[in-house]
Structure 1
Amino acid sequence: MSEPAKDFDAIIVGARVAGSAAAIFLARDGRRVLLIDKDAFPSDRLSTHIVLGGGTKVLERMSVLEMLERLGGVRFARMRAIGPDFDYGGELARDGADDRGLCLGRVLMDAAMIDAARSFEGVTFRDRLRAIDLRIEDGAVVGIRGEDASGVHEFCAPLTIGADGMHSSVARIASERIGAFKRIDVPCARAYYYAYFEGVPRKQLGDELVTEFESAPGAGNLVCRCENGLTVAATAFDAAEMQTFRTGLASNLRRYLDRSFAVGKLLEGATMVGRVFSSGLLNNTCRDPVAGGAILLGDAGLHVDPLFGQGHSLALMSASIVGELAAGWFSAVRGNSIPAAALADFTRRRDAELMPYYKASVRVSRALALDQGSRLAHRAASRERWAADEMIRFAQMLTPHAAFPSFRFARLMATASRAA
């Protein structure tokens, strides 16, 4: 039986990082927000666990960063990048600046973000409520139909936000019904697996994020401390090897990590705990994020190869853009929705600020070997301290408007290219 429609300023489908962050920003602006998710919480989700420095800046502005630290989130204070012909690192907290990232599993992080959103009087949260359709008027989204154990419910709002992941129901339904949210997919060349380890001594691994490239043909690895004294370690490899890898997940994960440049030694003596997690075969996906009455956030709008740990930060930084632009959107409401033309500023801001990071990841993830430009950038960072700092700031999504490489960095890359 259908329930009468209820009115909100915004409906957010998907209550994890992107959705909860958007709810907080909108509620701060005095908006009435319905935040829904098909899952019950706390619950897990496949993830790299990493919030890069650009993302932690948003968490700090939302006043939730300290809470996530209290839950056990590890602030990694250093980043190191290793490859066959480069090895460099840099500090993320120095000279009075705190650009540290955060590593925290999804069970704790998602539940905490939802609690933070629910603390606002203007936010109504409903879990185990699945979006089954969109309300459409005159080619624009004006709300949703959701279903839970008690039946079908309708909700209206001039803004609907799809923050429901790379398989977004909001994006799929809007595409089918009004031709919205055009997408481009670029297959990831690698498969991705991770697990937790306990007993990693601090003399082997401090509060550091370590990433590796091409320790074997097409391979990559990542390791970082996370909550409860655990360390999360991930490996990525040629997707064609996935079926063979799955014949012995734990033993093969350990074997792939042991063939690394440094990660195997960092985990020496540690014990794997729990099961091995897999992302399966993935695409890098970019969707046009705006339609009449609706936008897409997080993985729904930009999904990238997880090895680079950009997902959380892309989600948080795109939600921050919503917070900055929303007041203008609501003043532009026409009828029962916000026109696509009014929402177009979101596309321009997202593309200017976030697409350079997305494109850099796609360039690396679409092929098994590092392309020449990426290799030259890593080599340049290995040669000069200032270049390493510039590279790490870009990798941590801390470069304003992604102005990378600088002129002198590009000149150093050109010098290295001529020398090669």
Structure 2
Amino acid sequence: MTKPESAGHDYDVVISGASLAGSAAAILLARRGVRVALLERRSDPEAYKVLCTHSITANAYPVLDELGLVPAIEKAGAVRNEARWYTRWGWIEPRAAPAGPELPYAYNIRRSVLDPLIRSRAAETPGVDLLLGHQVTGLVREAGRTTGVRASTPQGEREIRARLVVGADGKDSAVAKFAEAPVQQYENARFGYLAHFRNLPLHGGIGQTWFLEPDMAYAFPNDDGVTVMAVLPDKKRLPAFREDLEGSFLSFIRALPEAPPIDSAERVTKIIGLVNYPLHSRKPTTPGVALIGDAALTGDPLWGVGCGWALESAQWLAEAVAPAAAGGGDLDRSLAVYERRHRRRLRGYQYLAADFATARPFNPVERLMFSAAARDEAAARHMHLFASRLITPLRFLNPVALAKASVVNIRHRGAAVPPARLSRTGS
């Protein structure tokens, strides 16, 4: 184990949760000279998150690159996450511009592959001690700030002191609960179920998402020829699903436009899901504590943003606090920098997601943008950048983009008018 260099601290940082966010943060902090204890409540180094979209949005590609994981996950069979989206106006099918750069991408990869991979990389990083079977049971507090954790371990109770405690322990974060981090919660009027299938061909071999207003569905191809198939219906349909989960799940998929041939595929997992999956936004810092990943913000699973934001928030935290966490700066000021960046980058997305989680049809602005994207390649590329979380909601809905979408739709309506009608009304 890494020997502590300060009599007052066992480590510079203690991270609770050794999945995607926690392992990424541990690697990035340790590379910046921070001594990290990475705690994982499960004892199995191969443990992984089961309920997930298994997709990393393109906004997180730079983090994967910094972590050095791109070659490894490509070797593991990760699939570039190209996608097309069904709407009432037809399919939105983003394509690169002629002679232009390829569209930004990241990867679809099952967490059963990704989680052990990144956790092992963290364990191999100098300055990181991976402590399996360590579950946080409380926080150590002194003078109004957190100075460590109490943990249940295979050897009994243990206290670990650190300058900073990081909660990377998911949407039901124990660290956030013990720190009494303020939280805002939004109800989700949809429920969701998913299963994994092998040999399920998809149109173009790429991901598919269905906007059925208000119901949703998606199919994401993953490593090893496995496709994740998910349905997210309005809760009004819940009684039927509860009465016959398998029958309702399969019937829902069969009724999709250009439905994948589900009956000829091999289902390789159980149908799993959650009836209640609220969105929440927590204040990502308290004195001596930082929250990353789902512990800080849990979005609507239909957008598949959780993995990408887990990686990004880990990077933002490491960039903001590393010098102070190692004892070379003002930690509270560094935490404030992280909090501002987290709020600035994600608040707008979460606002839109919470509004759409009410299971309403598209609003007028969404109708404008989605219909234009189904009719125009440039509008589809603009939509792709937003869906990849590479442009903010304000940039997605900027006046120029709205004007271009309006022109696309006006031209479409004009082209749809029969010539005879034009001659009668043109005089």
* Fold in common (TM above 0.5): yes
1:344 is matched with which residue?
Answer: 336
Q: SS state of the match for residue 232, structure 2?
A: strand
8 Å contact 1:5–1:154 — kept in the other structure? no
Does the alignment pair 1:237 with 2:245? Answer: no
Following superposition of structure 1 onto structure 2, how do residues 405-420 of structure 1 map, counting pairs within 5 Å? 405-413=397-405
Following superposition of structure 1 onto structure 2, how do residues 346-361 of structure 1 map, counting pairs within 5 Å? 346-361=338-353
Q: Deviations over 1:111-145 (max 9, x none)?
A: 11101111111000012211000011111111100
- Cα deviation for residue 98 of structure 1 reads 6.1
8 Å contact 2:284–2:290 — kept in the other structure? yes
Does the alignment pair 1:197 with 2:197? Answer: yes
Residues 354-363 or 341-350, more deviating? 354-363
Q: Which amino acid aligns with 1:363?
A: D
Following superposition of structure 1 onto structure 2, how do residues 215-226 of structure 1 map, counting pairs within 5 Å? 218-226=214-222
Q: Deviations over 1:199-226 (max 9, x none)?
A: 224xx44442211111xx5210111111
- Cα deviation for residue 266 of structure 1 reads 5.3
Following superposition of structure 1 onto structure 2, how do residues 107-118 of structure 1 map, counting pairs within 5 Å? 107-118=112-123
Query: Which residue, out of 207, 213, 217, partners 2:211?
Result: 213
- Cα deviation for residue 386 of structure 1 reads 1.2
- Cα deviation for residue 418 of structure 1 reads 8.7
2:421 is matched with which residue?
Answer: none
8 Å contact 2:232–2:302 — kept in the other structure? yes
1:167 is matched with which residue?
Answer: 172
8 Å contact 1:185–1:286 — kept in the other structure? yes
8 Å contact 2:168–2:291 — kept in the other structure? yes
Q: Which amino acid aligns with 1:347?
A: E
Query: Which residue, out of 69, 75, 92, partners 1:88?
Result: 92
Whole-angstrom distance in 1 between the partners of 2:222 and 2:19? 19
8 Å contact 2:96–2:381 — kept in the other structure? no
Residues 361-370 or 59-68, more deviating? 361-370
Q: SS state of the match for residue 30, structure 2?
A: helix
Whole-angstrom distance in 1 between the partners of 2:406 and 2:309? 30
Whole-angstrom distance in 1 between the partners of 2:55 and 2:68? 18
Query: Which residue, out of 353, 363, 367, partners 1:371?
Result: 363
Query: Which residue, out of 149, 163, 167, partners 2:154?
Result: 149
- Cα deviation for residue 402 of structure 1 reads 6.3
Whole-angstrom distance in 2 between the partners of 1:280 and 1:333? 46
Change (3 A) 1:258 1:136: same
Does the alignment pair 1:253 with 2:249? Answer: yes
Whole-angstrom distance in 1 between the partners of 2:381 and 2:372? 11
2:183 is matched with which residue?
Answer: 183
Residues 93-102 or 56-65, more deviating? 93-102
Change (3 A) 1:242 1:148: farther
8 Å contact 1:239–1:281 — kept in the other structure? no
1:158 is matched with which residue?
Answer: 163
Whole-angstrom distance in 2 between the partners of 1:259 and 1:92? 30
8 Å contact 1:191–1:282 — kept in the other structure? yes
User: What is the TM-score with the length of structure 1 in the denominator?
Assistant: 0.89
Identical positions, percent = 27
Q: Which amino acid aligns with 2:183?
A: R
Q: Which amino acid aligns with 1:212?
A: W
Whole-angstrom distance in 2 between the partners of 1:72 and 1:415? 42
Matched residue count: 403
Does the alignment pair 1:13 with 2:16? Answer: yes
Residues 325-334 or 384-393, more deviating? 325-334
8 Å contact 2:218–2:229 — kept in the other structure? yes
Q: Which amino acid aligns with 1:84?
A: R
Relative to its length, the structure with more strand (as a share) is: 1
8 Å contact 2:215–2:359 — kept in the other structure? no
Q: Deviations over 1:306-334 (max 9, x none)?
A: 11100001111111111221235337778
Following superposition of structure 1 onto structure 2, how do residues 17-56 of structure 1 map, counting pairs within 5 Å? 17-39=20-42, 40-45=44-49, 46-56=51-61
Does the alignment pair 1:135 with 2:127? Answer: no
Does the alignment pair 1:119 with 2:124? Answer: yes
Q: SS state of the match for residue 354, structure 1?
A: helix
Residues 89-98 or 349-358, more deviating? 89-98
Whole-angstrom distance in 1 between the partners of 2:153 and 2:315? 30
Change (3 A) 1:266 1:389: farther
Whole-angstrom distance in 2 between the partners of 1:52 and 1:268? 29
Whole-angstrom distance in 2 between the partners of 1:351 and 1:266? 42
Change (3 A) 1:265 1:108: closer
- Cα deviation for residue 278 of structure 1 reads 0.4
Q: SS state of the match for residue 256, structure 1?
A: helix
8 Å contact 1:195–1:274 — kept in the other structure? yes
8 Å contact 2:349–2:392 — kept in the other structure? no
1:309 is matched with which residue?
Answer: 304
Gaps of 5+ in 1: 176-180
- Radius of gyration: which is bigger? 2
User: What is the TM-score with the length of structure 2 in the denominator?
Assistant: 0.88
8 Å contact 1:92–1:99 — kept in the other structure? no
Following superposition of structure 1 onto structure 2, how do residues 290-329 of structure 1 map, counting pairs within 5 Å? 290-329=285-324
Q: Which amino acid aligns with 1:24?
A: I
Whole-angstrom distance in 1 between the partners of 2:96 and 2:310? 21
8 Å contact 1:143–1:159 — kept in the other structure? yes
